[in-house]
Chain A
Amino acid sequence: MLQVAETITSDILVIGGGGAACTAAVAAARNGATVAMVCKGKAGNSGNTIMIGGSYGMDGESAANVYHIPGADPSFTKEDLFRSIVNDGFNLSDQRLVEQFVEESPRIVYEVKQWGEEIGEKFEFYSPANWDVTGRSMGRALMNGVKKTPGITIYNDIAVTDLLKHGEKVTGALGLDLYGGRLIRFEAKATILCTGGFQPYTLKSTNTDSTGDGQAMAYRAGARLADMEFMLFMVTAIEPNEIKGSILPALCTFRAAFDYDPVDGTGQKIEIPEKVREMESVSEMCKVLDMYYYGRVLNEGRASQHGGFYFDFSRFTDAEIDAMFDAVMDHFEGFYRHGYYHGESILEYRDLIKKNRRIEVGFGGEYSVGGIHIDADMDTGVPGLFAAGEVGCGTFGANRVADAVTEMLVQGYKAGEVAAQRTAQESVLSSDEASVQQAVGALESLLANEGGIHIGEAKHQLQAISDRTLKLLRTEETLSAGLAQYQELEHQMEHLTLQGKGLLYNRELLEALQLRNLLTCSRVAARMALERKESRGLHLREDYPRIDNADWQVRLVSTWKNGTDCLEKEVPVITRIPRRAPETIDYNTFVLTEDLGMKNMEDAT
């Protein structure tokens, strides 16, 4: 019989250790709350936050006129930022959330930059109002902000296994102290989930902790999940094996300096219209278009050995390849040690390309657009439960182009403010014993199982099913088959059997808990992808190659009721930009129009 070793009480419980968690903790503490910040990894050094290899920013008006940033371009207005998010999101954004993003991001974006610069981290400005930053710099900046804010206590390396409730209200969570091998009960007036995304794929560029814990725990506790069918992919290394999962190959898409031929597994050139390829240099919308073209190649069975394709350089000389890499090297100077991108050698990558004349790459999971349904106060609708950052959804609709880094900071801050202010006069309720027993019991039964599927096998199955099901270009057949396979795996996982039976750094136990959460998210994602009979944003259907603005300008929202996912359609909240005309746009035409559809969509208003 497992026992809870300790109970820790605070006003606000923040679960997570990345950008949303840090700003939530700071905002709650500034509003007078005591904060317990519980992180599966290490606060400021975990989650998708440290994987950042890009930038964040605000609108140009605020940067130029409010913060007086030299070089900021005020012609990129708040209105422009708002419209671009809604347009890029194919009109599924909750426009109240977009409003919150646009209006409230300048303050926290600027402050986090200050936190970083105070401790010597590099934030490099570029127009209109963005800063390049590395994940570790962002993490250190955030921790500087957390450490100088009184009232926050950090609990690192504790995996939260379930939320705890008093009646219908979330009143805390059960934590598994990985290094201590013991259970901790956290109790608080409000809980803020900042646990990041879910990545069910074999190939992904995220930290191993992005396992959908927050989404699945919230779903079990009564919250709704939405937009789960929209998964963002990015060009990711397959070879050399030691850098598999790195986004280093993305530098080859810096079109000002680089050129290559995309080639399939048989050596045949993948035909992509030149104007679509040119888009790599001007817009992140290229990711949506890449999914379409490469998705077709993969569905035709033309994948390379490890499920991807090749960047082929055989028409270039060594000197030309050297010149391409030399041209981008400066970009990383000062962010990483010379010649490196994060921990990976750019020069070794170059030399492998020169040796083989081609390099195998694939599309890896980068960010999950869907998540917990929240309003513009980051309220999940379950009393006492808030969610912020990648774990939530709504700002980006069907496709994320704007900064996820900005999203996590601005939503975390909001959640912390609202949670602290709303609960200031309340007292902490003790969680129901039945709720605690249920959470503890789930761990006990995992440890007690015998004779069932092994965790390694279950994990590989989940990844393989996800690769086939939630892929770039989806079909009724693969989605139906995948959904059935997820359910069969869930059935098998009821008897999931671990070799280690203790609590002390039992990585099998942690993997089992994570896998259970990932499976929940994947199943809901497949259900939504099957339901959405059109192509929109990051959800592309080979059997429905059209944007259906008549029937599908709606979000899909799921509730867990009596052991079933109950899906409903929800019209997105509109504050400024009206819905598109109720017409159907052929996807092949859409991707080939001169401005790749975006201007056309504007005109439709």
Chain B
Amino acid sequence: MIANIYRFDPTVDAEPYYQSYQVDITAADRMTVMDLLISIAERQDGTLSFFSHSACQHGICGRCGVKCNGKAGLACETLLTGEDVTIDPIRLPVVKDLVVRN
């Protein structure tokens, strides 16, 4: 599947843009959006920023919200189906990429 992810580093970029990552995930893996983002950051692109510094991973803290295909939800609770996804910040402006002041 392909993940299109909103990127914007206000210290460098003039405009936000989307970056595509090819990942090998199927519905049977029961991967969450958080798993996807960690996987990309660890294996493909360490510069990707998303909420991860104090994450409960179980829908408790409520701080990892993103939009997945336009729908707002917690990254740790949103399951991937194996279909392509577009991940956006839950709102603007961003601190960097998917991170907002929350």
Residues of A within 8 A of B (CB): 40-42, 45-47, 50-51, 135-136, 157, 159, 178-179, 181, 207-209, 239-243, 245-246, 342-344, 454-457, 459-460, 498-500, 502, 504-508, 510
Contact = CB atoms under 8 A, between A and B. Distances in A.
Given A42-B54, A208-B53, A510-B53, A500 B77 contact: no
A208 B97 CA distance: 20
B63 interface: yes
B59 A343 contact: yes
Among B47, B48, B63, max chain A CB count under 10 A is at: B47
Contact of B29 (A136, A178, A241, A343): A241
Contacts of B59: 342-344
Among B53, B57, B96, B101, max chain A CB count under 10 A is at: B53
Contacts of B96: 504-505
Contacts of B10: 504
B99 A209 contact: no
B5 interface: no
19 contacts: A41-B53, A46-B61, A51-B60, A207-B57, A208-B52, A208-B53, A209-B53, A209-B54, A342-B58, A343-B74, A343-B77, A456-B41, A499-B46, A499-B47, A500-B47, A500-B49, A505-B95, A507-B41, A508-B46
A6 B75 CA distance: 33
A264 B45 CA distance: 38
Given A241-B29, A242-B32, A157 B53 contact: yes
Contact of A179 (B29, B42, B79, B99): B99
A504 B53 contact: no
B46 A502 contact: no
Contacts of A178: 53
A135 B11 CA distance: 37
A207 B54 CA distance: 6
B55 interface: yes
Interface of chain B, main secondary structure = loop
B9 interface: yes
B84 interface: no
Instruction: Give the 9 A-B residue pairs with the shortest CB-CB distance, closest first.
Output: A343-B59, A41-B54, A456-B42, A499-B46, A241-B30, A500-B47, A209-B54, A46-B54, A505-B96
Interface in B9-31: 9-12, 29-31
A47 B54 CA distance: 7
A209 B51 CA distance: 12
A459 B50 CA distance: 18
B63 A507 contact: no
Contacts of B97: 505
A493 to B, nearest CB: 15
Contacts of B48: 507
Contacts, number: 117
A242 B30 contact: yes
B11 A502 contact: yes
Contacts of A47: 54
Contacts of A459: 42
Interface of B: 9-12, 29-32, 35, 41-43, 45-50, 52-63, 74, 76-77, 79, 95-97, 99, 101
A24 to B, nearest CB: 18
Given A207-B55, A502-B12, 9 more contacts: A42-B63, A135-B60, A136-B60, A179-B99, A181-B11, A245-B57, A500-B46, A500-B47, A510-B53
A390 to B, nearest CB: 15
A50 B56 contact: yes
Contacts of B49: 500, 505-507
A238 to B, nearest CB: 11
B46 A245 contact: no
A233 B56 CA distance: 17
Contacts of B31: 241-242
Among A241, A504, A505, max chain B CB count under 10 A is at: A505
Contacts of A159: 53
A157 B95 CA distance: 12
A454 B48 CA distance: 14
Contacts of B101: 179
A460 B41 CA distance: 13
B4 to A, nearest CB: 20
A532 B99 CA distance: 45
Contacts of A136: 60
A507 B52 contact: yes
B58 A246 contact: yes
Contacts of A209: 53-55
A47 B63 CA distance: 13
A51 B59 CA distance: 10
A460 to B, nearest CB: 8
A179 B95 contact: yes
Given A40-B53, A207-B54, A208-B52, A342 B60 contact: yes
Nearest to B56: A207
Among A239, A245, A343, max chain B CB count under 10 A is at: A343
Contacts of B9: 502, 504
Nearest to A248: B58
B43 A456 contact: yes
Contacts of A181: 11
A354 B102 CA distance: 39
A504 B79 CA distance: 28
B53 A207 contact: no
B55 A243 contact: no
Contacts of A344: 58-59
B19 to A, nearest CB: 13
Contacts of A41: 53-54, 61, 63
Contacts of A50: 56, 60-61
